[in-house]
Structure 1
Amino acid sequence: MLSFGPLSLVAPWALLAAAILPLLWWLLRVTPPSPRVVRFPAIRLLFGLSSREQTPARTPLWLVLLRMLLALLVILAVAHPLINASRTKAAGGLLLIALDDGWAAARNWAARQTVLDALLDEAERAERPVAVLTTAAPVDGGPITPIGPLSARDARAAVQALAPKAWGTDRQSAAAALATLARPPAASVVWLSDGLDDPAAREFAARLQTYGRLRVFTEPPGALPRLLLPPAAGDSALAPMVRRAGTTGTETLWLKASDGSGRGLARTQVTLADGSSRATAKFDLPTELRNRVARIDVEGEETAAASVLVDERWRRRPVGLIGGDPETRATPLLSDLHYFAKALEPYAELREGSVAELLGRPLAVALLADASHLPASDVDRLREWIDEGGLLVRFAGPHLARSPDDLLPVRLRGGGRMLGGAMSWTEPMPLAPFPGSSPFAGLTPPAEVRVTAQVLAEPEIELDAKTWARLADGTPLVTAERRGKGWLVLMHTTASPQWSNVAMSGLFVDMLRRLVALSRGVAGDAGGGSLPPIEVMDGFGRLTSPLAGAGPIAAGAFAEIVPGPRHPPGFYGNDATRRALNLSPSVGELRPLAVPSGAERAVLSDVRQEIDLRPWLFAAALMLLAMDMAIGLRLRGLLWRGAATAAAAGLLIVLAPPAARAQTDDAFALAAALETRLAYVRTGDAAVDEMSRAGLDGLSRVIGQRSTAVLGEPVGVDVERDPLMFFPLLYWPVTASQPVPSPAAQAKLNDFLRNGGMILFDTGGRGERADPYQGGGVGAERLKQLTEGLVIPELGPVTSDHVLTRAFYLLRDLPGRYAGGTVWVERIESQANDGVSSVVIGPHQWAAAWAIDPQGRPMFAVVPGGEAQREMAFRFGVNLVMYALTGNYKADQVHLPAILERLGR
């Protein structure tokens, strides 16, 4: 192989044929073209003419050059030129390729495929046998076995079927598998590593070196995979940890939280400081939004260990606090509700109120303190709620001891049992160990925990099965009964220190957390059983259908399972129980791989895709041959002019590059349609366009934090080329330099407005009050020019009772960076688009007020009201988006006086 820079020739001897090109030139020049045949019957006219010697015509120079080029292309094609061909010296014998195909290889799998293709191309040209050894356990759970030796062509088919696994490598087993591969006398070894070290790496490299000279491909230091650890279950904040291999340099990563359908809910930034290998991120989400999170990913990583699946263990369940003695409200340390709140405040969303108020919203758990009496209506509501899947935990006390009701898991004896009473014990009673079938199994009762009073259960056949906790003398302390889809639980003592000191211990917190974990929609229950796979991850972190070898996991052993072929990471369980098995907790510390001595080190990214020019050269030669034939026929008069033109046109069509506009439009439409996004008009002014982008990005973040609306990243659009129908709201900053839309763009904008779209025109002034279409304000003339072809109805100022002032927040003013101007909307509500104004016009530079940088800091000052005015600007933005998305459903508030007047009639 002969190389010239990036160009290499597999058969350079073929260039010797270029020596005949001068002879070919001479032959083409001296050989005249074929005579042209003309049919002319009047031969008699030629009789008697004198004969003179004529010099034959030469072949035209341009035709000679065409044919010379044709011959040169054939010669070059035979020489087999390659771009980015491997420069390693061709060798004989076996080529052994060791490939790390665990989760860490997924991050740069395309580069590994490029190196594999280059190695197999080289082996195919040298006719070398190839053997491939993977280091991750196979999907079917069988042992690691080498592939081959095979021919390079057959090995290519086997390699193309490989994919990264969703678990780590097992280099120790791979090293043992080498014993099954015969050691040839001459071989070369290539190890495509994932760049990470482990205890078996040194032994594995030593085994490879026994087969021949070793070349190790690794990742550059900044390209090693990252690891995402799940947040601590039950923490008040959703705070996953990012780890990396090495500590050099400062690195900023983005994390994305998504729901079960893949829609983004929130993004947050995490920075790994120089000298540190880990950092913790934090998602600040309202409870309703946090409870929709199904996975968290490190953007740009796409590996199974850079994704965390989230189940109910990481969700803040809504817990209602009911009852309590009104006399203890002034002394919180004597109130049951105080101890509820202190125990669960870091782990759940606590709500306090009446039964009707609490059950009016979704509720997972209700904690009912000792109350004097529950109204029959409340008892009926609680029964219905339990049957539908709720979990009610009742606590005993003096009121329940005096007058038990029937909303209990067991029948109670009247009067209770207390220290010094008729049914007393001589000293406070400790707790017995929790039974294995109890939700409290695994907790250890502290020795200092004592109970001085309790309510007693009447003996019954099922009492033992209903008992989750006992005192040392065997009497029940916690009983429970399944009711419909839910649970009814009774704690036979108080939640305050009145009857025991359980509430003063950490055991109380752990017991309440276990009870909350039984609530509706929570993974896991009090029983055992197995959890079959629902969805499993592949090496790229994508959820797929369960593999054939994936098996169920025993519920009691779920926490000890290490992901592998038998149990890949993913979701396990059923409709009632859904548990997430993540890969990252089982991965140890990440360390860069140390290349062993005597081995050659190479970098994956340095290998470029090999390009074979031979097919292209042959194709070009074939086209030139077709052209030469068509020209020859034309010169001989055997091809009429129209056919020649058609042939040339067809050739140009074949050679013309494909149009990419349709692909670009499809990509734009796909990105815009998958998520709800706000859009802004690109004006051509880079500063204004960046302000618009940052402003809509900041507004989208605020809307995601304050409402259930989830918006994607804003999109800049060109009204001349881009489709607009995907966007509910178009922000249009008016500038002096932007061109007036063409008639086609005007028609597109009119169609957008007619079909429910909304445009916010921002003229950018400081206090315009005049009608923007009647003059009198800065930017009014330019706005009139830009919208000259748009169908805009009559406008009027936003009034105090307009829906825009109460779509989400109740507002009086609609400020932006500036305040004091007039905001204009359609004067008459349109019936076509749910009464929503298709146009909003104002002078307040809203995007500047909304704009925040990646660190969450405001980018522009707000005058004259400062940060309070910025907050009002954000509220206007939230109202505007809600108005555009939901229409005038809040209009009933505007017309409430008229509605009440009609009802009064």
Structure 2
Amino acid sequence: MIGPISFAAPAILAGLALLPALYFLLRATPPAPRRQEFPPLRLLRDIMPTERTPVRMPWWLLLLRLLGAALVIIGFAGPQIVPPRLLAGAGPVLLAIDNGWAAAADFTARIAAARHLVDQVAGQRGIVLLATAGNAAGQPPRASGVLGRIGALDALGALHAEPWPADRAAAASAVAAARRRIAGLTGVYLADGLGAPGLRRFLAALDPARIIAGSPDTIRLLQSPKLSADGALIARLAVVPQQNEVTQPVLAEASSGAALARIVVRIAPGAASGAARFDLPAALASQVTSLALPGAAGPGGVMLLDGATRQIVVGLVSGGTANPEQKLLGSLYYVRRALPPGSVVRTGRIGPLVASGISALILADVPLNPADRSTLDRFIAGGGVVIRFAGPLTAPQPDTLTPDHLLDGVRMLGGALASGKPERIAAFERGGPLAGLTPPRAATVSRQILADPATLDPATVWARLSDGTPIVLGVRRGRGVLVSVLTTANTAWSNWPIAADFPALIGRLVRLGTGAAPKSGLLRPLRVLNGIGTLGVPGAGARPLAVADFAHTTVAPAHPPGLWGDAQGSIALNIGGHVPPLAAAALPAGVPVTGLDALPRARRFGPPILAAALALLLADLLISLLLRGALRWRAALVLLALLGGGHRARAATPVPAGALAPMLAYVRTGDPAIDRISRSGLGAIADLVNQETAAHLGAPRGVTPGVSPINLYPLLYWPITGATPAPDAKACHALDAFMAGGGLLVIDTDGGGSDAAGSGAGFDPGADAALHRATACLAIPPLVALTAQDTLAHTFFLARSFPGRFDGAPVFIAAKGARDADGVSPVVIGSNDWAGAWAVDASGMPVRALLPDTPGQREHAAWFGVNLVMYALTGTYKSDQVQIPAILRRLGQ
């Protein structure tokens, strides 16, 4: 090191010692020729020569070559200006690094800063590393021994973020133990910037000479969501209060990781939290298993959902012919009002209700035929909940779909003909699914159906009357639950339905299906989040957790975030709600604080010096050619100008995209999320076409009809949503010209209104009106439904259905008389969200879930996408296949 200048490879500078030898080598001249007299040449002795050849190399050329050689040597030696050292002193450095959940988002930058510090100080001083979060084995933070540069870098490479907060109390003890072991330690703290309990004690023990802190403004924490009164999922996000508005996208994801919906949470300046709601159809809302922040690393950006935060779809069926919703008297009047807030309620017959995807079914005095019993047996085995209330229709002859055998007839506990008095509800069975509920004090039962005491299994009794008679029976069958409440759902036999605790009973029962949270006993970790926010197996340090302590548990190595429960159900333990509120750390005054991205870096001059050396060598080459007469001065100046310029030759008029290679296009909507899906979906189809066919498509392009040229693209995909405006006159003219010129316009909506066909019904209520609004100015030909006999159905793959993200909606093409001269339809219109099914992320995984996600749905959607492209490129070249049966019959004749 020479002052602030050092060299990355100083040994290479030894090559400068060879410059004197190079000097004499360049100055060396060939040996003098032997002199031989030739008399006739004496006549030429007095003629003056016009050119003289120098005996030695010109001094300036010699200097030029020596300078070039010196620059090459110095450039490879790696000269650099080293910034002032971050730390003074000579003892080992104790480097404490926060690696809790709050450090996960910038953990790569954190490790890079630690490596930079190690590179700067490890040559003269040892390194002692301390990670402030305990590990998955349950071990508290412990300081390492004194490490050299290689050992410290290896230890940093093995360090990773943990899915729980840093344990600064244990880290303070580890610092004290390290100072007792190793004298002269200088502390350095790589902080996450977040305040936490024990931070002041930890800083006092570490006594840092410098703090390198991440910005708390980048920390995001998803809080436990809520359900609105109409059943919508409300996402909540917490941040450290900031001066500017915070906008953060949030994704609702299915169990496969596919994104079902995306919203943006906006947090006002100075606020600590914000919220936004997901408006999803019930069929999609029931598939949401987690919320996630796109691009956010760590468990703070993931919110796992359990039964308490999932929308419940409940079916209600009543026996008899009376109005079940009659005020105060109807068999379903009180049950409907006792359902949890946000529940989606459906009524009808048993078969259609089960087929619609409900999670629980409540039957109010409904006799069952064999077909219904078979349907309900399959529903329960698959994870559904069936709750049966008794009544006068089912009492005379109870069927076999009960948790235990029931006796015929009705037990009378009150009234003129009764021998006793109405009985109160006693305490619920300990250890049962209803344990923890408060028995209604004023509720009494005057009539009930009796369980057969001769065959009664005590395990099926979930609640009893004060005289010990069972009143609620339940049993788990397969993955579901069957419950029998042995009295009516209205006030005919009991006043329980009007008790204040009746909604708690109904809420507990309808959540007993697959994934329902256990209500008593010990919870065990099933799958836990790691430091990057993905689910995995629990570590050795995880310990069982009592249900009663769950709400007040702080995430830690013993209780990591994830899904807890047993084989019957699970409950989500998340970072949000189980860590202290977010606040910026109060760092000690007088200690220098540096940001992760503000560490001083060395300025390296090797590359520009090598570039200068290369320029000198090129100049030497040109000068040598000039001196030998192999190059004219004018040509040399032109060559120098070309070498010095960095401009490339460009065509006077740029070639439009799509003119040199075929590519697909999509209409820009102005919504980045929709445009991203269109681009990704068409890109995936282009890749499949390139792989499966002889065509070679370029990357898809976004266009604006009327502004961008669209006549060069064979296929134009136009996604329509409820917010799509009517196109202007220029756009309409451009789209009409595109169809008239042989292009294929594919118009696709993201589902439709509640009365639309297919599984996308209700997903985008304004899509139908937007489709009519967007196409009103276009010359759309008469349309017919696409069938498996049309050429489009077999241009490459043999397709019998044409699904996308949704399925079941018809696809329309031009009628035969309205197609072009080759019989090709200029337009295809559907409402299955094809791009949503095609789109994949960078790793090749689908980005949107399918509905209803039948086997092969995504594959058939891709087949139809390839058929669309081949139809746009080749027209009806495969239409003869339709006539093959007739041709074969003629040949047979």
TM-score, normalization: structure 2? 0.70
Which shows bigger deviation, 252-261 or 481-490? 481-490
**What is residue 10 of structure 1 aligned with on the other side?**
6
Please show how residues 868-879 of structure 1 align to structure 2 within 5 Å: none
Q: Deviations over 1:292-330 (max 9, x none)?
A: 222212334322122101234322233221124433447
Instruction: Give the C-alpha shift of residue 34 in structure 1.
Output: 4.6
**What is residue 173 of structure 2 aligned with on the other side?**
176
The one-letter code sitting in structure 1 at the alignment partner of 2:434 is: F
How far apart are the structure 1 equivalents of 2:405 and 2:454?
Answer: 9
Residues 12 and 58 (structure 1 numbering): CA distance in 2 closer, same or farther, change over 3 Å?
Answer: same
**What is residue 71 of structure 2 aligned with on the other side?**
72
Q: Deviations over 1:348-400 (max 9, x none)?
A: 322111223323333332211124x4444434433444445433211122333
Q: Deviations over 1:719-765 (max 9, x none)?
A: 9x999979999875443664975xxxxxxx55xx6xxx867999997
The answer (yes or no) to whether the contact 2:679–2:701 under 8 Å persists in 1 is no
**What is residue 501 of structure 1 aligned with on the other side?**
495
How far apart are the structure 2 equivalents of 1:816 and 1:696?
Answer: 22
**What is residue 228 of structure 1 aligned with on the other side?**
222
Residues 482 and 602 (structure 1 numbering): CA distance in 2 closer, same or farther, change over 3 Å?
Answer: closer
The answer (yes or no) to whether the contact 2:19–2:66 under 8 Å persists in 1 is no
**What is residue 148 of structure 1 aligned with on the other side?**
145
- 460, 465, 474: which is aligned to 2:459? 465
Residue 201 of structure 2 is aligned to residue 206 of structure 1? no
Residues 121 and 376 (structure 1 numbering): CA distance in 2 closer, same or farther, change over 3 Å?
Answer: closer
The one-letter code sitting in structure 2 at the alignment partner of 1:735 is: G
The answer (yes or no) to whether the contact 2:223–2:303 under 8 Å persists in 1 is yes
The one-letter code sitting in structure 1 at the alignment partner of 2:393 is: H
The answer (yes or no) to whether the contact 1:135–1:174 under 8 Å persists in 2 is yes
**What is residue 581 of structure 2 aligned with on the other side?**
589
Please show how residues 106-145 of structure 1 align to structure 2 within 5 Å: 106-125=104-123, 127-145=124-142
Q: Deviations over 1:625-651 (max 9, x none)?
A: 99999999999x9xxxxxxxxxxxxxx
The answer (yes or no) to whether the contact 1:228–1:305 under 8 Å persists in 2 is yes
Residues 94 and 320 (structure 1 numbering): CA distance in 2 closer, same or farther, change over 3 Å?
Answer: same
How far apart are the structure 2 equivalents of 1:383 and 1:567?
Answer: 37
Residue 784 of structure 2 is aligned to residue 822 of structure 1? no
Instruction: Give the C-alpha shift of residue 481 in structure 1.
Output: 3.3
**What is residue 680 of structure 1 aligned with on the other side?**
666
Secondary structure at the aligned position of 2:162 is classed as: coil
Which shows bigger deviation, 470-479 or 175-184? 175-184
Secondary structure at the aligned position of 2:395 is classed as: helix
**What is residue 568 of structure 1 aligned with on the other side?**
560
The one-letter code sitting in structure 2 at the alignment partner of 1:231 is: P
Residues 882 and 696 (structure 1 numbering): CA distance in 2 closer, same or farther, change over 3 Å?
Answer: farther
- 93, 96, 109: which is aligned to 1:95? 93
The answer (yes or no) to whether the contact 2:405–2:456 under 8 Å persists in 1 is no
Residues 517 and 157 (structure 1 numbering): CA distance in 2 closer, same or farther, change over 3 Å?
Answer: same
Instruction: Give the C-alpha shift of residue 230 in structure 1.
Output: 1.9
How far apart are the structure 2 equivalents of 1:369 and 1:883?
Answer: 47
**What is residue 104 of structure 1 aligned with on the other side?**
102
Instruction: Give the C-alpha shift of residue 339 in structure 1.
Output: 1.5
**What is residue 420 of structure 2 aligned with on the other side?**
425
The answer (yes or no) to whether the contact 2:119–2:149 under 8 Å persists in 1 is yes
The answer (yes or no) to whether the contact 1:571–1:581 under 8 Å persists in 2 is yes
Q: Mind listing any 5+ residue stretches in structure 1 that lack a counterpart? A: 638-655, 657-676, 682-691, 701-710, 742-748, 796-804, 844-880, 889-905
Instruction: Give the C-alpha shift of residue 181 in structure 1.
Output: 1.2
Instruction: Give the C-alpha shift of residue 546 in structure 1.
Output: 4.3
Residues 540 and 678 (structure 1 numbering): CA distance in 2 closer, same or farther, change over 3 Å?
Answer: farther
- 394, 401, 407: which is aligned to 1:400? 394
Residue 244 of structure 2 is aligned to residue 249 of structure 1? yes
Q: Deviations over 1:597-646 (max 9, x none)?
A: 342222223126656556x58987998999999999999x9xxxxxxxxx
Q: Deviations over 1:669-718 (max 9, x none)?
A: xxxxxxxx99526xxxxxxxxxx2416856x8xxxxxxxxxx83656999
Residue 706 of structure 2 is aligned to residue 735 of structure 1? yes
**What is residue 277 of structure 2 aligned with on the other side?**
282
The one-letter code sitting in structure 1 at the alignment partner of 2:576 is: S
- 335, 341, 345: which is aligned to 1:340? 335
- 694, 697, 707: which is aligned to 2:670? 694
Instruction: Give the C-alpha shift of residue 44 in structure 1.
Output: 9.3
How far apart are the structure 1 equivalents of 2:107 and 2:191?
Answer: 11
How far apart are the structure 1 equivalents of 2:420 and 2:865?
Answer: 67
Determine what percentage of the aligned residue pairs are the same residue: 28
**What is residue 664 of structure 1 aligned with on the other side?**
none
How far apart are the structure 1 equivalents of 2:468 and 2:198?
Answer: 53
Residues 492 and 196 (structure 1 numbering): CA distance in 2 closer, same or farther, change over 3 Å?
Answer: same
Residue 826 of structure 2 is aligned to residue 832 of structure 1? no
How far apart are the structure 1 equivalents of 2:89 and 2:476?
Answer: 74
Count of paired positions: 741
The answer (yes or no) to whether the contact 1:524–1:555 under 8 Å persists in 2 is no
Residues 424 and 2 (structure 1 numbering): CA distance in 2 closer, same or farther, change over 3 Å?
Answer: farther
- 432, 445, 451: which is aligned to 1:451? 445
Please show how residues 520-559 of structure 1 align to structure 2 within 5 Å: 521-524=514-517, 531-534=524-527, 536-547=528-539, 549-550=541-542
Secondary structure at the aligned position of 2:193 is classed as: coil
Residues 355 and 292 (structure 1 numbering): CA distance in 2 closer, same or farther, change over 3 Å?
Answer: closer
How far apart are the structure 2 equivalents of 1:886 and 1:332?
Answer: 57
How far apart are the structure 1 equivalents of 2:9 and 2:376?
Answer: 91
Instruction: Give the C-alpha shift of residue 464 in structure 1.
Output: 2.1
**What is residue 836 of structure 2 aligned with on the other side?**
none
Residues 134 and 600 (structure 1 numbering): CA distance in 2 closer, same or farther, change over 3 Å?
Answer: same
Instruction: Give the C-alpha shift of residue 571 in structure 1.
Output: 3.4
Secondary structure at the aligned position of 2:577 is classed as: helix
The answer (yes or no) to whether the contact 1:144–1:174 under 8 Å persists in 2 is yes
Residues 885 and 292 (structure 1 numbering): CA distance in 2 closer, same or farther, change over 3 Å?
Answer: farther
Instruction: Give the C-alpha shift of residue 201 in structure 1.
Output: 0.8
Residues 629 and 230 (structure 1 numbering): CA distance in 2 closer, same or farther, change over 3 Å?
Answer: same
**What is residue 875 of structure 1 aligned with on the other side?**
none
Secondary structure at the aligned position of 1:412 is classed as: coil
The answer (yes or no) to whether the contact 1:386–1:486 under 8 Å persists in 2 is yes
Secondary structure at the aligned position of 1:242 is classed as: strand
How far apart are the structure 2 equivalents of 1:316 and 1:763?
Answer: 32
Secondary structure at the aligned position of 2:315 is classed as: strand
The answer (yes or no) to whether the contact 1:826–1:839 under 8 Å persists in 2 is no
How far apart are the structure 1 equivalents of 2:104 and 2:62?
Answer: 54
The one-letter code sitting in structure 2 at the alignment partner of 1:171 is: R
How far apart are the structure 1 equivalents of 2:146 and 2:108?
Answer: 24
The answer (yes or no) to whether the contact 1:366–1:391 under 8 Å persists in 2 is yes
The answer (yes or no) to whether the contact 1:417–1:454 under 8 Å persists in 2 is yes
How far apart are the structure 1 equivalents of 2:69 and 2:866?
Answer: 67
Q: Deviations over 1:228-255 (max 9, x none)?
A: 1121479722112211223543222211
Residues 10 and 763 (structure 1 numbering): CA distance in 2 closer, same or farther, change over 3 Å?
Answer: same
**What is residue 57 of structure 1 aligned with on the other side?**
56
Q: Deviations over 1:822-846 (max 9, x none)?
A: 2258998545345975864699xxx
How far apart are the structure 2 equivalents of 1:593 and 1:555?
Answer: 33
Please show how residues 257-406 of structure 1 align to structure 2 within 5 Å: 257-329=252-324, 331-344=326-339, 346-371=341-366, 373-406=367-400
Secondary structure at the aligned position of 2:445 is classed as: coil
Residues 466 and 143 (structure 1 numbering): CA distance in 2 closer, same or farther, change over 3 Å?
Answer: same
Q: Deviations over 1:19-51 (max 9, x none)?
A: x99x969x977875555699x999897999899
The answer (yes or no) to whether the contact 2:138–2:557 under 8 Å persists in 1 is yes
Residues 680 and 316 (structure 1 numbering): CA distance in 2 closer, same or farther, change over 3 Å?
Answer: same
The one-letter code sitting in structure 1 at the alignment partner of 2:360 is: V
